[in-house]
Amino acid sequence: MDELPIGRRVAYWRGRRKMSQQVFADRLGKSKSWVDKIERGVRRLDKFSVLYEIADILELDVQLLVGKDPERRSDALNCIDQVEVDQIRAALERYDALSAYFDAVPCPPLIGDMRKAVNHAWLTFQYGRYGMLTRALPKLLRDAQAADAAYGDDDQGREAAHLLGQVYQISSSVLRKLGECELAWLAADRAMAVSQRAGDHLLAGIATTRVANALLAMGRSRPALELNVRIANRLAPGGSNDESPERLSVYGLLLLQGAMAAARTGDSATVDDLLDGAQEAANRLGGDHNHYWTCFGPTNLKLHRAAAAVEMGDGGRAVETHLSIEMPAFNALLPERRAHHMLDLARGYAQIGDVTSAGEMLLKGARLAPSEIRCRPIAHEVMSDILRRTRGTPASPIAELAEQMGVGI
């Protein structure tokens, strides 16, 4: 199979799926003549977006379609490769809604199926399984875009827009963690636009935090701070706004993300003001919850206090804040949140010169959510610092983790 031209491979797999050229063409939205020319090699097949659509229809890995063996890597060790980045970029570059203006989308995904897929994607992210998520995202993006394009301006249409907005947010969050900041910004910007069509101010509020986080990752701290605070003020509970747990959670997270941006600028007074505002919202909420996938509450607020201290170079304060956290509440948080906090603590310990404790935090984080430590560029920086400052040979667990991360000793 590897030596066959790509058109012949398409014909082979189409035959294996017992699909006629006409049926295949209809599902792809192309003419039978187009399919015939592709399979005979008269026409080139070199667009990523079309390759992935064909792979979806034929229900096979895109690597098989292009004549390569699909990689079977453990998700614990898998981060993201250029093929996956290109697949996600191709999915983000689609404009199904514009195409649907001219032609109806054939066989759009069912809303119920999309809802289940999006919920699964959120759990995959919040459990820190980034390799699994990045492999699933291209198809999920295409399906969500197709559903959004297919359904009208009724309740189903608004839910389709809501689901697409969520998929864009998931994409933005995982891309930012893996260092693909420009794509993370693009996905977050799309999320904000779609959220407005979904008619959900709180969804738009959470999308705001994704945009701001992408800006922060690109070094644009001041715009990130201003954006978070401006939308938080508009969504603040009270007055004409309700005081629902969902609103308190979204409002609180906007303040927390604003505090992180302010910490990056070194503005300690603004950091304290925003954290105090978030503390009030957390107290009114009364416990940690995952409304709108925020994981917002008193415990997550302490995690952000520690993270803000690290951003301002005060590792000692970050460690003190950690020691004040109630462990049962901390252990009840989702793995991504806990592992992220371990990474922040590792940075804090490194700031105060305790590289042994810093290494222990990385190890704890890797046990909670391996990809959060092994795949994030900031974790690689911390590990490099630990290895550089360790006298003699590092402990075997640290050396093993460094090897898994691809960080040289």
Q: Are residues 227 and 251 in the same domain?
A: yes
pLDDT tens per residue across span 72-98 = 444 444 577 777 788 888 888 776 544
In a domain, 8, yes or no: yes
Q: Show the tokens assigned to 176.
A: 């930012």
Reported as a single tens digit per residue, the pLDDT across 358-389 is 999 999 999 999 999 999 999 999 999 999 99
| Per-position b or e across 147-158, b if 16+ CB within 10 A of its CB | bbbbbeeeeebb
Same domain, 186 and 314: no
- Residues of the domain holding 370: 334-409
Picking from 200, 219, 238, the residue at the C-terminal end of a domain is 219
Round to whole Å and give the CA distance between 104 and 100. 5
Q: What are the beta bridge partners of residue 238?
A: 241
Distance CA 133, CA 259 (A): 28
Both 53 and 4 in a single domain? yes
Q: Do 1 and 49 fall within a single domain?
A: yes
pLDDT of residue 1: 44
Nearest to 127 by CA among 329, 338, 331: 338
265 assigned to some structural domain: yes
Q: How many domains is the chain built from?
A: 4
- List the CATH number of the domain containing 404: 1.25.40
Nearest to 212 by CA among 204, 201, 223: 223
Are 9 and 133 contained in the same domain? no
Answer with the one of 45, 70, 95 that is the final residue of a domain.
Answer: 70
pTM: 0.80
DSSP one-letter code for 293: G
Residue 274 amino acid letter = L
Distances from the Cα of 241 to the Cα of 76, 246, 248, angstroms: 43, 12, 10
Domain-located, residue 385: yes
Residue 76 in any domain: the answer is no
Same domain? For 101 and 208 the reply is yes
- Report if residue 77 sits inside a domain: no
Percent of the chain with pLDDT strictly greater than 70: 91
Based on the fold, state whether residues 203 and 268 are members of the same structural domain. no
Judge if 140 and 226 occupy the same domain.
Answer: no
Given 302, 322, 342, the domain boundary residue is 322
- Whether residues 269 and 368 share a domain: the answer is no
Tokens for 197?
């069509």
Per-residue pLDDT of 187-226, as tens digits, reads 999 999 999 889 999 999 999 999 999 999 999 999 999 9
In angstroms, what is the C-alpha Rg of the chain?
A: 23
Cross-strand pairs, 241: 238
